[in-house]
Structure 1
Amino acid sequence: MQVTMVHVQVKPEHVQEFIAASRLNHEASIREPGNRRFDVLQSADDATRFVLYEAYAATEDAIAHKNTAHYLVWRDTVAPWMTATRVGVSYNGLFPPG
C-alpha cells in the first residue's frame, strides 16, 4: 500500500473555502480505482493546519490520482490559499496489508 501524508497550512481567511474544496476532492478521490482511504484532517490546536491522508493499493494508483481532473482542480484552486507550498511525505503501508 502507498500512503502519502500531505501537510498543508492555510491562510486563516481561506480555511472554510479550503475545507469545501477538499471535500469535493475527497468525494471524488474515494471513488478512484485503488483508493483505500482519503482522509482530510484538521488540527485540533490550529484550525489553519491540515493533513491529507491518502492511501492507495499501489504506487501506480497514487500516481494516477495526480492526473485526475478533480485533483488538478483542487490543486489549482487551493494553492493561493496556502501560507507555503504543501509538503507530501510518502510511506509504505505495512498494516493493514494493502
Structure 2
Amino acid sequence: MYVTLVHVQVKPEYLDAFIAATGENHEQSIREPGNRRFDVVQSVEDPTRFVLYEAYASEADANLHKQTAHYLKWRDTVADWMATPRQGVRYEGLFPQ
C-alpha cells in the first residue's frame, strides 16, 4: 500500500475553515477507486497541528488523487492558511494487506 502522512500546521485564525475544507476533501477522497484510507487527525496538545493519513492501493492511485478537482480545490483553498509548508512523508503500508 502507498501511504503518505501529511503534516500540517494551520494559522489559528483559519482553524475552523481548514477543518471544513479538509472535511470536504476527505469525503471526496474516500470515494476514489484506489483509496484505502484517508484519515484526518488533530493534535490534542496543539489544535493547529494535523496529520492526514492517506493510503492508496498504488503510487499511480495516489498520483491520480493529486489530479482530482476536490484535491486541487483543497490545495488552493488552504495554501494561505498554513503556518508552515505542509510536509508529506512517504511510507510503505505493511498491514493490513
TM-score range, shorter chain: over 0.9
Q: Per the alignment, in what secondary structure is the counterpart of residue 72 of structure 1? A: helix
User: Residues of 2 paired with 1:39 and 1:22: CA distance?
Assistant: 10
User: Residues of 1 paired with 2:25 and 2:34: CA distance?
Assistant: 16
Letter in 2 for 1:70: H
- Corresponding position of 1:39: 39
Between Structure 1 and Structure 2, the one with more strand by share is 2
2:85 is the counterpart of 1:85: yes
Equivalent pairs counted in the alignment come to 97
Give the CA deviation at 1:84: 1.2
Structure 1: 5+ residue stretches without partners: none
- Corresponding position of 1:4: 4
User: Residues of 2 paired with 1:28 and 1:96: CA distance?
Assistant: 22
Note the 1:12-91 alignment, pairs <5 A.
Answer: 12-91=12-91
CA RMSD of aligned residues (A): 0.4
Structure 2: 5+ residue stretches without partners: none
Letter in 1 for 2:47: A
Task: Give the TM-score of the pair, scaled to structure 2.
Answer: 0.99
User: Residues of 2 paired with 1:66 and 1:40: CA distance?
Assistant: 17
2:75 is the counterpart of 1:96: no
After TM superposition, what 4+ stretches of structure 1 lie above 6 angstroms from structure 2? none
Identity %: 70
